[in-house]
């Protein structure tokens, strides 16, 4: 059995979406710990505190007040200590251009929000398991991209 824990952060301003995501993550058969934030600024304030244990993977909703997903992503990528953090953006947009721009700005994963809970669970499971490989094996994080 695996005893290591994958530390996950979820940043979303919509409470319903947060709890759906949370339920889906909890149903994945992996050791995970989850922290929730209501917007990008709250998360950035938290991770920039000195000595803070860093998560392995952060899910960012694209549309949020105060600091949206893209702004938050851009800021994460300017910080040296957050370089190894995998960033997953999720959105309802499936425009190729939006997706490419998100990757160019430094996202590792782009999730097109699924419309059923079953599909959401499946997508999250796939994301967590692939991210786990990047977290535990010698794979190049700089070129880690996944569109799902």
Q: Is 36 an interacting residue with respect to other proteins (CB under 8 A)?
A: no
Nearer to other proteins, 38 or 114 (CB): 114
Helix 15-27 to helix 117-136 angle, to the nearest 10 degrees? 60
Based on the shown chain and the rule CB under 8 A, indicate whether residue 43 belongs to the binding site for other proteins. Answer: no
Range list of β-strands (E), 28-139: 32-37, 57-61, 86-91, 109-112
Q: Taking contact as CB under 8 A, which single stretch among the options 33-41, 43-51, 59-67, 134-142 is the one that binds other proteins?
A: 134-142
Q: Which of 8, 105, 113, 115 forms a contact with other proteins (CB under 8 A)?
A: 105
Q: Which stretch binds other proteins (CB under 8 A): 13-21, 32-40, 63-71, 97-105?
A: 97-105
Residue 89's alpha-carbon distances to 61, 126, 144, in angstroms, are 6, 15, 14
Q: Which is nearer to other proteins, 64 or 128 (CB)?
A: 128
- The string of DSSP codes covering 73-102 is HHHHTT-GGGTT-EEEEEES---HHHHHHH
- Which residues in this chain contact other proteins in the complex, by CB under 8 A? 1-2, 30, 78, 84, 100, 103-106, 110, 128-130, 132-133, 135-140, 143, 145-148
């Amino acid at each position: 059995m695996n005893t290591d824990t994958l530390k996950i952060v979820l940043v979303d301003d919509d409470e319903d979406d947060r709890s759906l995501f949370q339920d889906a993550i909890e149903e994945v058969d992996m050791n995970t710990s989850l922290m929730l934030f209501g917007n990008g600024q709250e998360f950035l304030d938290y991770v920039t505190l000195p000595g803070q244990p860093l998560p392995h993977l952060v899910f960012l909703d694209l549309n949020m007040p105060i600091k949206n997903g893209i702004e938050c992503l851009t800021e994460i990528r300017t910080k040296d200590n957050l370089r190894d953090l995998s960033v997953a953006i999720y959105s309802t947009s499936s425009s190729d251009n939006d997706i490419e721009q998100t990757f160019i700005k430094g996202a590792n994963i782009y999730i097109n929000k699924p419309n059923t809970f079953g599909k959401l669970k499946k997508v999250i499971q796939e994301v967590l398991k692939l991210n786990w490989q990047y977290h535990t094996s010698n794979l190049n994080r700089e070129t880690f991209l996944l569109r799902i």
